[in-house]
Amino acid sequence: MKKLLSIQDISCYGQCSLTVALPIISACGIETAVLPSAVLSAHTGGFKEITFRDLTDDMPAILKSWLANDIRFDAFYTGYVCERQIAPIQAIIKACAKPGALRIVDPVMGDDGVLYSGFTEEFPQKLRPICVNADYLLPNLTEAALLLGEKPRLDGYDQPYIEELLRNLYSLGAKNIILTGVSFDPNTLGVAIYDGKRVAYDFNPRLPHSSPGTGDVFASVFTGAILRGKNIIYAASLAADIVCLAMQNTPPEHWYGVAFETAIPELVKGVTTTPPSSP
């Protein structure tokens, strides 16, 4: 059984970050350890009086303990991290990586054209060192533009723009780019995938609503599928399908997240199915 370390925050309530990653990746049959970057009372997508505790100062002692116990990992999956954690996280990955360990990076920093609250304008450039070494980089449109030092474009773009964005992200050093939130018409929404040689797309019908945590569900399913040996296109397609199914199963009063638990049976089928050969 492969061992993964997921590095991101714990939002105690709200179905995002580690409370999504841990059950989803475990359901894929991957042993999942966690390194919390911060603890929040709930996510910032609609709750009041949020508490936040940065856990950077705990990281050196955690690393020391892991090294003393010879703890190593086959893969790393990073999500929301704090600004002063870049160097400690790099040290942990370097020290605890098994030979050939995969690095999957969801550069959580913004959406809808703006940075999340709590990040400075310099944060995208500070995060670059983690992104450039990624085997798989999973930004949304906002995060992709911010990593490149550009102003995000959320509409009015075309296929050449998306493919230039992919090439520019690839040039930073990541081996594969999975760009989420791509749409060329109002009825569909999907992902663009680039491995340095070709671009592939996967689209689903656009749902009439959005929800916090969908990016975390997508990245977690993708991670689990990749570690089960699925190819990148299949993993991205499965991740998008699971997000859509979970959103369809989420009642309107469940505004703070998606009911991803309802989609776990289909997830298990997806990661145990033999995908078609890559075209």
Record the tokens describing residue 185, joined without a space: 């018409």
Domain boundaries, the chain: 3-272
Q: What is the pLDDT of residues 240-258, one digit of tens each?
A: 999 999 999 999 999 999 9
- Give how far the C-alpha of residue 259 lies from the chain's centroid of Cα atoms, to the nearest Å: 18
pLDDT tens for residues 87-100?
999 999 999 999 99
pLDDT value at residue 276: 63
Return the CATH number of the domain spanning residue range 3-272.
3.40.1190.20
SS3 33: strand
Indicate if the pLDDT at residue 86 is higher than 90.
yes
What tokens does 62 get?
């955690």
How far is 231 from 225, CA to CA, in rounded Å? 8
Q: Where is 78: in which H helix or E strand?
A: strand 73-78
The CA distance from 206 to 189, in Å, is: 5
Contact 182, 206 (CB under 8 A): no
Confirm if 174 and 166 have CB atoms less than 8 A apart: no
